[in-house]
Amino acid sequence: MATAARPDASQTSNPVGRGVEPLRAGKGNSFLLRKLHSLSGIVPIGAFLIEHLLSNFEALKGPLAYAEQVKFLNSLPLVRFLEVGLIFIPLAYHALYGVYIAMRGKANVIYYPWSGNWMYMMQRWTGYIAFVYIIQHVVRQRFMGVSLPEHPGAAFHKVQMELSNPWMLAVYVIAMIAVCWHFSYGIWLFAAKWGITPGANARRRFGYLCAVLGVVLAVMGLASIYAFVGPNYKNAPADVMPAQTMLYAPSSPGASLS
Amino acid sequence: MAEKTIQIEIKRQSGPDASSTWEKFEIPWKPGMNVISAMMEIAANPVNASGQETTPIAYDSNCLEEICGSCAMVINGKARMACSALVDKLEQPIRVQPLTKFPVVRDLAVDRSVLFENLKAVQAWVPVDGTYDLGSGPRVFPQQQEVAYPLSNCISCCCCMEVCPQFNDATGFVGAATIAQVKLFNSHPSGKVLKEERLRALAGDGGVQECGFAQNCVQACPKQLPLTEAISDITRDVTLQVAKDFLRA
Ligand code: HEM
Ligand code: SF4
Ligand code: SF4
Ligand code: FES
């Protein structure tokens, strides 16, 4: 076989000398990190996404029902611990490692415009969109402005104010579709990559199922957005409930996560 | 009447470190021509389209019937076997360049030793060498044969790796072909003996986990190997092996 190895090939870590490095058989821990990334997309992040979309769906019933839902979530036992352990940390891991994965792939749909390849590229782009969106969403809705754990009654108003800006509304609509796309194709990817759907037919059928789920989630999410900007609950009051005392309030409110 | 000709443009490079240039050729058309036979015409009369004398094209080929795996090239933007790329079915000018993810040796000849190294790393063979006669091997039932045969059709052309978005310098991904061969040898009644070692090898950096399931490999494979099915099955086996090793450690 023709070889293009440089004479000093033996001195590099790559036994082939140049080009793509061969398998580092049994070495390193990227397998574990990658499987953790894959799993974290389903549980806990995917599970949280479903919870989040269902909770926001309450907004269709009006500001008070929405406030009740926010109050209920914040009354869960160990809620601050759950928030950090099951949402912040896994999400930060999935997002950061996801960017790392995405940056190392070389999309080539221009040369190979096949559907699986498109979906591969879309999984990366929807991931980037989710990344940027989630950072601003968490900063502005969770850590800025009125603190919702203490004032669940202000939740509807807070979101309504945010969405009253047409640019923000556009950002939310795009991000909603992107995240639902990412998650539903993510479930499909998970099943394919963990050997749950090895067969081509099984993968195709499961693909229809994931597509239906994605559309249902996106429609629910968009309907919730509509609840805030539509005519039904225009100019919601700034607070519809008395302030709540925090269950695990630290001594100084400024140091609190809320 | 003027003789019918074909237009072909070839990306040329005189050596591993030389820069590359495109060279145009216009050669007489013949019935049933393929990209390799077109280059044979050039070798017989190495003159380019502007009438200048040039060198014959360097490339790998052998069987000319899509079975040896040596002639993979990027033809009109797609990785495929040159010997089965029929000129009459290609848009002209036909643009031929070497595989882009393998080091160029000269012109269209590339160094694909990475696949050989990967196959060695996973011990893609049936270990039967010994000092005494082991007798005849175990029976392979037809049901097993039906799974194994398509996987055994791999011709090591590297098309699946060329088209894979995850096969690149950053990941050092092993590629679909090696994963499929692990499935083949793990299903062989004698090859099975190395099953755990192969799976552990594939859990290393650049292993099965790097696949992003873009499914380009299975589209591009000239021998229609069920590559995505193999990747799915083997990733499951690797995951189970890693879990077992963890609990037995
Ligand atoms: C709303 C939050 C998110 C959810 C629910 C989610 C969910 C998922 C799921 C279920 C998968 C499939 C796992 C697999 O490939 O095996 C996945 C894959 C992926 N996610 Fe996310 N994800 C989220 C946010 C992000 C963010 C912010 C990024 C950053 C870019 C990202 C990047 C990726 C990438 C690159 C993959 C593909 C991994 C691969 O092909 O190996 N995700 N995600
Ligand atoms: S499925 Fe896609 S990422 Fe995986 S090996 Fe095939 S081409 Fe590469
Ligand atoms: S799996 Fe197919 S594309 Fe890949 S090397 Fe083998 S024959 Fe070529
Ligand atoms: S020459 Fe053997 S596959 Fe093309």
Over residues B152-204, the pLDDT tens digits come to 999 999 999 999 999 999 999 999 999 999 999 999 999 999 999 999 999 99
Domain-terminating residue out of B73, B89, B110: B110
Give the model's pLDDT for residue A243: 84
Domain-terminating residue out of B61, B92, B110: B110
Q: What's B138's DSSP letter?
A: P
Query: Sign of torsion, CA A193 A196 A198 A200?
Result: negative
Summarised one tens digit per residue, pLDDT across range A150-161 is 999 999 999 999
Same domain, B118 and B99: no
Give the model's pLDDT for residue A10: 47
Contact criterion met (CB below 8 Å) for B4 and B15: no
Q: Is the pLDDT of residue A251 over 90?
A: no
Give the model's pLDDT for residue A249: 47
- The CATH number assigned to the domain holding B18 equals 3.10.20.30
Closest CA to B113 of A9, A195, A84, A128: A9
**Number of domains making up chain B:** 2
Give the model's pLDDT for residue A3: 62
Summarised one tens digit per residue, pLDDT across range A161-188 is 999 999 999 999 999 999 999 999 999 9
Give the model's pLDDT for residue B118: 98
Question: Nearest residue on chain B to A4, judged by CA atoms?
Answer: B105
Same domain, B117 and B50: no
Instruction: Please name every residue paired with B27 in a beta bridge, in sequence order, or none if there are none.
Output: B6
Chain B neighbors of A5, CB-CB under 8 A: 111, 113
B230 CA distance to ligand 3 centroid (A)?
A: 12
Q: Is the pLDDT of residue A255 over 50?
A: no
Contact criterion met (CB below 8 Å) for A19 and B173: no
Contact criterion met (CB below 8 Å) for A133 and A175: yes
Q: Is the pLDDT of residue A7 over 80?
A: no
Give the model's pLDDT for residue A9: 46
- The CATH number assigned to the domain holding B159 equals 1.10.1060.10
The predicted model scores a pTM of: 0.93
Phi-psi category of residue A221: left, alpha or beta, with phi > 0 → left and psi -120 to 50 → alpha: alpha
Tell me which residue in A22, A101, A192 faces B117 most closely, judged by beta carbons: A22
CB neighbourhood size of A63 (10 A): 23
Chain A neighbors of B238, CB-CB under 8 A: 31
Chain B from 4 to 63: CB within 8 A of any A CB: 16, 60
Chain B neighbors of A195, CB-CB under 8 A: 232-237, 239
Contact criterion met (CB below 8 Å) for A154 and A242: no
Summarised one tens digit per residue, pLDDT across range A87-137 is 999 999 999 999 999 999 999 999 999 999 999 999 999 999 999 999 999
Summarised one tens digit per residue, pLDDT across range A28-60 is 999 999 999 999 999 999 999 999 999 999 999
Q: How far is A90 from chain B (nearest CA, A)?
A: 19
Angle at A77 (CA atoms; ends A80, A50), nearest 5 degrees: 75
Residue A254 banded pLDDT, cuts 50, 70, 90: very low
Provide the domain limits for residue B42.
5-110
Question: Nearest residue on chain B to A105, judged by CA atoms?
Answer: B166
Same domain, B26 and B90: yes
Domains along chain A with CATH numbers: 36-233 (1.20.1300.10)
Determine if the peptide bond prior to B93 is cis (ω within 30°): yes
Which residues of chain B carry a pLDDT beneath 50? Answer: none
Task: Output the CA–CA distances (angstroms, integers) from residue A237 to A57, A107, B189, B220, in the order listed.
Answer: 19, 48, 73, 60
Summarised one tens digit per residue, pLDDT across range A212-221 is 999 999 999 9
Q: Please name the residues in contact with A130: beta carbons below 8 A apart, sequence gap of 6 or more.
A: A95, A175, A178, A179, A182
Q: What's A197's DSSP letter?
A: S
Task: Output the CA–CA distances (angstroms, integers) from residue B247 to B48, B240, B241, B242, B244, in the order listed.
Answer: 65, 11, 10, 9, 5
Whose Cα sits closest to atom 33 in ligand 1? A98
